[in-house]
Structure 1
């Protein structure tokens, strides 16, 4: 049996192609509409009419359905009759009633049309084979993921529009907080606690108070305690200067003979010389150690000091040596070490998040944010402090030793963040961006 597919603009053209290719005795197996027109699947048996088809014992052979079974009970039983009926309808004068089109039945499964066994490859409807590779499946998955992301973005935008339409004041305040640098998740949390009858000023002050209450202030008792304190953090955060500021403050309170500074930064050039210069100004002892054993010996020599401040080396938060150094230098030390995280307040949210995640396995006693004098916005730093419940201890806002350091205060930080937002509102980058965009065009 020979099985072929034919596509025509309409039924007449498709039937003509069937007749030209397979003859008038072909059997129509199925019909369906496609974007190109009408598609017919036709079959023609080359064997003699009286030839008997033997089927394998395990496979039941079902007779081929007639044309009337496929296109309807009222249809003709052969292609020749169907063509004659089509021509008769086309030549019928206007005004005469048209013959109703036969209803098309749903085609039966493909295995009902085969006169041969399932192992006969000659009964395939089409010689073309479509192969699907893993790369094709991956492209489909990526396309679906892209569509899902677009839909999620649209749904989120619609949800946000509905919220703003329901309560315009909340939508306005949400926009203000985001412009300050607060993350959208925290904005939603803060706004959910606002009283329903508050006006704009009352609501804004309530938001600032909520943020101040969420800040965790702890660890500022460092200057009134004794022990060993290590400053850790990424490179460029200002650990060395912070160690010098804390040592100077401690020396002012208890005397320079009760404080000592130690550096284990063996990577940065002149790290010991810089700390030694600060030590001469303060009048305290400065030591260095290049291994865990040396650090243990140095700490034993300085055991009579009330406060020992350790300056560690700075690495990128993605550098494995950052944590490995702390592990190596803490080996063999018998006295406890309190770790304080030093981070830049003017860093991006993602960078601060990476720093906090890098030290998640280290028990941090306090957090010191530096370079507040270089900030145009404090929202990113506040968002990190609130999201990770960081214990804020000190802030620094300059290079002067020991003046430019102060204990952290939640109310003062939130007030500073509000003043920076009111003063700059991130406009310090808008003109630069606009100029670059115009130059690019």
Structure 2
């Protein structure tokens, strides 16, 4: 195999030179954009066929044709090494063997054979070290270019497949795009769209998909306020755990009486955390205690054993905070009581944040989740996707700061309807109140 470099002011001119010089069988190994044009490195296994324009060169004497022949690999890279890759590899192997022999103890010199002089033997014993570093850098650069080219090709092929799918099933492509704009994840959107009946119009197919998503959402039939027991609310910081605890406690007090409700906080990290929940407890009229460790938590649960509902408030930590593990271990050690764990998440969080949050808190078996700040959402599809994909039951939703009014039992139909309304309000231009302004800006 021989390698040639070609230069041109643009890619078309350089490729034409490759075709004229090496023929159609040449292999393009790499290309590089230069300040004054384009550089192409091409390789070929055999001598290129001579075209009709260069037929007269066959009549040239042998010495002259040798002078006008194509430059070798040595001439291109500025090395005195062999011209073929096989010879280059053999040369590198010989160099490694020579270096290995030099590192070993020097043996006694052998007697000269066939009249070989000492100077010739010394010349033969000297290892020939090629410019390996330069060749390695060139190979690394070629690998990087090939990897970059492969990524671009994969992206182009994926786009072509998507276009082909849209041409074969235009309705499916339209509905998938519509669900993704509503906030539904790509995987879930493709899954539910695949169940769309073939003989249906766009309106009926859209209603079918909304009903299908509603059926996929799991809700807690026998919710916490109905069954009672011990429940712990956990989640990242700022999700509204303490306010949600107060809302649950207030509604339970209205239903069963304040003396049947107990509050416990294990949040010893946040400033004034106990004061905040004790203020809520004083307004509601229920008991509140603070636990520092697993032993104190067990003692308090024993003291509140006769209450219908016991709510445990926890500290908010990020998914990667080491203190989160300590808090989860504290809850795991309280094995004497049957504690139901609920994950509190903001409904307006990013999809990836929800995924990581659920993965971090699944160390403890989750009974369900509570979505807060529904009133602050511009899209509900992300929360719906996370709950469906992780098969996490949605127990309650909150849509404000009022205690206890802004707390509702989760309903799948309400969630899907709210998500569709938010999509129409904030995504579709023709349904927004600023359609005329948007149209003017577009013009």
Instruction: Calculate the TM-score normalised by the size of structure 2.
Output: 0.68
Deviations 1:380-403 (A, max 9, x none): 111101111111111110011111
Deviations 1:117-158 (A, max 9, x none): 9x936796xx74222799887766655544333222211111
Matches within 5 A, 1:188-207: 188-207=190-209
Distance 2:5 2:171 in 1: 62
Q: 2:353 aligns with which of 351, 354, 365?
A: 351
Look up the match of 1:120.
124
Equivalent pair of 1:215/1:385 in contact (CA under 8 Å): yes
Distance 1:234 1:362 in 2: 15
Look up the match of 1:15.
none
Deviations 1:162-189 (A, max 9, x none): 1111122221111111111111111111
Equivalent pair of 1:293/1:329 in contact (CA under 8 Å): no
Look up the match of 1:147.
149
Distance 1:254 1:148 in 2: 66
Q: Using a 3 Å threshold, how does the CA distance of structure 1 residues 134 and 351 change in structure 2: closer, same or farther? A: farther
Q: 2:228 aligns with which of 221, 226, 229?
A: 226
Equivalent pair of 1:349/1:380 in contact (CA under 8 Å): yes
Structure (1 or 2) with the larger CA radius of gyration: 1
Q: Which stretches in structure 1 are left out of the alignment for 5+ residues?
A: 10-31, 40-74, 76-80, 88-105, 432-441
Q: 1:284 aligns with which of 274, 286, 289?
A: 286
Matches within 5 A, 1:350-429: 350-425=352-427
Deviations 1:64-107 (A, max 9, x none): xxxxxxxxxxx9xxxxx8338999xxxxxxxxxxxxxxxxxx99
Equivalent pair of 1:291/1:329 in contact (CA under 8 Å): no
Matched residue count: 339
Look up the match of 1:82.
62
Q: 1:165 aligns with which of 164, 167, 175?
A: 167
How big is the alpha-carbon RMSD for the aligned residues of Structure 1 and Structure 2? 3.9
Matches within 5 A, 1:8-407: 82-83=62-63, 110=87, 120=124, 128-131=130-133, 143-218=145-220, 220-332=222-334, 334-407=336-409
SS in 2 for 1:305: coil
Distance 1:83 1:8 in 2: 24
Equivalent pair of 1:186/1:383 in contact (CA under 8 Å): yes
Distance 1:268 1:219 in 2: 34
Equivalent pair of 1:230/1:310 in contact (CA under 8 Å): yes
Q: Using a 3 Å threshold, how does the CA distance of structure 1 residues 249 and 128 change in structure 2: closer, same or farther? A: same
Equivalent pair of 1:376/1:426 in contact (CA under 8 Å): no
Q: Using a 3 Å threshold, how does the CA distance of structure 1 residues 285 and 176 change in structure 2: closer, same or farther? A: same
SS in 1 for 2:238: coil
Higher helix share: 2
Look up the match of 2:51.
none
Equivalent pair of 2:239/2:346 in contact (CA under 8 Å): yes
Q: Using a 3 Å threshold, how does the CA distance of structure 1 residues 212 and 84 change in structure 2: closer, same or farther? A: closer
Offset at residue 326 of structure 1 (A): 2.2
